[in-house]
Amino acid sequence: MAEKYYITTAIAYASTKPHIGNTYEIIATDAVARYKKARGYDVFFCTGTDEHGQKIENKALDAGITPKQYVDGVAGEIKGIWDLMNADYDHFIRTTDDYHEAAVQKIFKKMYDKGDIYKGHYEGWYCTPCESFFTETQLKDGKCPDCGRDVQLTTEEAYFFKMSKYADRLMQHIEDHPEFIEPESRRKEMVNNFLKPGLQDLCVSRTSFKWGIPVDFDPKHVTYVWLDALTNYITAIGYDPDKTFEEQSEKFRKYWPADVHMIGKDIVRFHSIYWPIFLMSLEIPLPKKIFGHPWFNFGADKMSKSRGNVVYADDLAKKFGVDGVRYYALAEMPYASDGPISYEAIITRYNTDLANNLGNLVSRTVAMTKKYFDGVIPAPGAEEGTDAELKAAALESVKAFSDHMDALHIADACADVFAMLRRANKYIDETAPWTLAKSEETLPRLQTVIYNLLETIRIGNVMLQCLIPATADKIFASIGTDIRGYESALTFGALESGKTVGEATPLFQRIDEAKFMEEIEAARKAAEEAAAKANKPAVEKPEGVVQIGIDDFMNVDLRTAEIKACEKVPKAKKLLKLTIDIGWEERTVVSGIAKFYTPEQLIGKKIIVVSNLKPAVLCGIESNGMILASGDETVRVIFLDPETPNGERVH
């Protein structure tokens, strides 16, 4: 019976489209799941969407639709991107699924009946984007310590979970199982920054919004998002709160505990502190590992919409192909530190590894097989020193790849495969098959060289099928074999002689970086221009405007002037008092532009003023004139060249 392996991603928050940093998680988890399946494990790979909370309720309100309609759309978009990235998951859970909501209600009641949840009153700082509460001391410069956004002081009735009840037990578990939280830096952060200072009781319900799972025995409360979201890992495999662990379904008992939760480093606290304590309350075994992966940074900054540096996986796939995106994400994200992402970096990795090392190796080898042996895989003959070195490199690569994938050092595993491929390319240069093909005497040697190259490609492809599966399928077809079992890569020589290779189709076309970047810049400018045009308000022909004669117009005396002083009018939010130099005198003008300009922005500016307007008293101030400005919703004062003399007539 195959050993089980249960792996999960964090469920994606269904508030907006996920960027490549979010998408990395599904790609990495898929690579690990495919690797474990190749090794013969009975794998269950779960992902999904987190669909409740105040943030989603607000977005739905802004969009003029129901929260369920809103999350249906975003969840569909998320699932579409997961599918585009060729994620071979076994279950996609949505926290709006009926079975999940019913289970969460029972879980809440079970914890309440046990005395782990109690009703109280909450007053503190709340970050809506993070769905998190913070104390005054936890804030960073008065803002959310996780995302840096503004927080709101919140006061409401709420239910709380007694976190301190299980804190010592969790601390002991972490000490006894150092592999429970990885990388090590994340474990130290959780212990030193959260557990040792002492845990505060956790707010697990809200009354200030309605989009959540109702507490069935107190329906004005909805379950707080983390108790709702985290329990997806057990509800997805059939957890029944009414049963003991021994009474659970065969599926649940088979796959739980989870072998690894793959999550972003920003939510390690929730998974390594809240989640295990919830499980302790439910008397369920803890997951074996919480792995907090790092982020992709665009330049020096974390990728985020607020910074305008978001890159989406589906957009990248249009430019580099799905496997180009998958490979870059897997190869460039370090184990513990953040990884860089830029178009230039993607192109370099794409050209160097995929187009040159992999693509050229496969196409050259298949082409030589066709040219020298009519496409038939030759039988190898006697070995020489370079053959032994190539075989050793291939087998060492498989071992290193396995060790690194088991340890979740995925980027290092990618490096192991491509180190072997580089060795194979070097082998071509060392053996020079084109020279061996010139003589009948060296034909046996040529057979060995071509066979060794094809077998090295096959062994590398056994590993690549975990990383870039669609490309791996093409390579197996090109080299004329479907021997892809992981065990077959542990010995050199499984490739069957006498079989016929397929077509040497190009796998990755080399990208011209200069041309690519020119196209990106052109597209960016076009998008900016289109956005500016779309945001430009339409100007309609005015209706009902009275026509005047030239004599009427000439009666209006328009003069240039300079604003010498400016101040706000007390008790009048819209008015500013301006002292203007109109050339022959200084006078006071009161203008309703305080909403659009500060006094500092106006002092020293040259303007146009109606100089012969009858005086009017506004808020006790006599105003002598009117300044020219445009707009209704947004007012823009008409400013002149600073060199314009004061008092000139405007015609």
pLDDT at residue 598 is higher than 70: yes
Window from 36-40, 59-63, 117-121, 595-599 with minimum mean pLDDT = 595-599
* Phi and psi torsions of 649, nearest 5°: -75, 135
Q: Is the pLDDT of residue 131 over 60?
A: yes
Mean pLDDT value across residues 511-538: 86
pLDDT at residue 356 above 80? yes
Task: Please check the confidence at residue 298 and state whether its pLDDT lies above 80.
Answer: no
Per-chain mean pLDDT for the chain:
92
Which of 33-47, 308-322, 391-405 has the lowest average pLDDT?
308-322
**Residue 447 pLDDT exceeds 70:** yes
Residue 489 CA to its chain's centroid (Å):
34
Q: Reduce the DSSP state of residue 194 to 3 states and report it.
A: helix
| Position 398 confidence tier, pLDDT thresholds 50, 70, 90 | very high
Indicate the pLDDT class of residue 461, thresholds 50, 70 and 90: very high
Mean of the pLDDT values across residues 484-510?
94
pLDDT in tens, 189-214: 999 999 999 999 999 999 989 999 99
Please check the confidence at residue 543 and state whether its pLDDT lies above 70: no
Inform me whether the pLDDT recorded for 303 exceeds 60: no
| Local confidence band at 302 (pLDDT 50, 70, 90 cut-offs) | low
Question: Which amino acid is present at 6?
Answer: Y
Q: What is the pLDDT of residue 574?
A: 85
Q: pTM to 2 decimals?
A: 0.80
Is residue 540 very low, low, confident or very high in pLDDT (cuts 50, 70, 90)? low
What are the structural domains, with CATH classification, of the chain? Answer: 4-293 (3.40.50.620), 338-490 (1.10.730.10), 554-637 (2.40.50.140)
Confidence of residue 300 (pLDDT cuts 50, 70, 90): low
Average pLDDT over residues 465-491: 97
**pLDDT above 70 (res 538):** no
How far is the C-alpha of 192 from the C-alpha of 194, rounded, in Å? 6
Q: Identify the pLDDT of residue 147.
A: 81
Position with higher pLDDT, 61 vs 631: 61
Q: Which amino acid is at 319?
A: K
Residue range 56-68: mean pLDDT, rounded: 94
| pLDDT one-digit tens code per residue, 81-100 | 999 999 999 999 999 999 99
Residue with the bigger pLDDT between 296 and 180: it is 180
Name the burial class of residue 495, with classes exposed (0-12), middle (13-18) and buried (19+) by CB atoms within 10 angstroms of its CB: buried
Q: What angle do CA 210, 212, 216 make, to 5 degrees?
A: 90
Residue 170: predicted pLDDT = 97
How would you label 569-588 residue by residue, b for 16+ Cβ within 10 Å and e otherwise?
beebeebbbbebbbbeeebe
Are 626 and 610 contacting, i.e. CB atoms less than 8 angstroms apart? yes
pLDDT, tens only, 169-194:
999 999 999 999 999 999 999 999 99
**Alpha-carbon separation of residue 597 from 562, 593, 643 (angstroms):** 16, 6, 22
Average pLDDT over residues 44-65: 95
Q: At 1, is the pLDDT very low, low, confident or very high (cuts 50, 70, 90)?
A: confident
Residue 224, pLDDT score? 87
Sorting pLDDT into bands at 50, 70 and 90, what band is 572? confident
CA-to-CA dists, residue 261 to 26, 43, 104, 184, 258, angstroms: 12, 14, 20, 15, 7
- pLDDT for residue 539: 59
Give the model confidence (pLDDT) of 133-172 as tens digits: 787 778 888 888 878 888 888 888 999 999 999 999 999 9
CB of 547 within 8 A of CB of 562?
A: no
- Rounded Cα distance, 610 and 196, in Å: 71
Joined tokens for residue 203: 């707010």
Q: What gap in Å lies between CA 396 and CA 420, rounded to an integer?
A: 9
Residue with the larger pLDDT of the pair 255 and 503: 255
Residue 544 pLDDT > 80, yes or no? no
What's the pLDDT at 70?
Answer: 96
3-state SS class at 623: strand
Rounded to whole angstroms, how far apart are CA atoms 68 and 79? 16
pLDDT at 235 over 60: yes
Instruction: Determine the Cα–Cα distance for residues 213 and 228; give it in Å rounded to an integer.
Output: 8
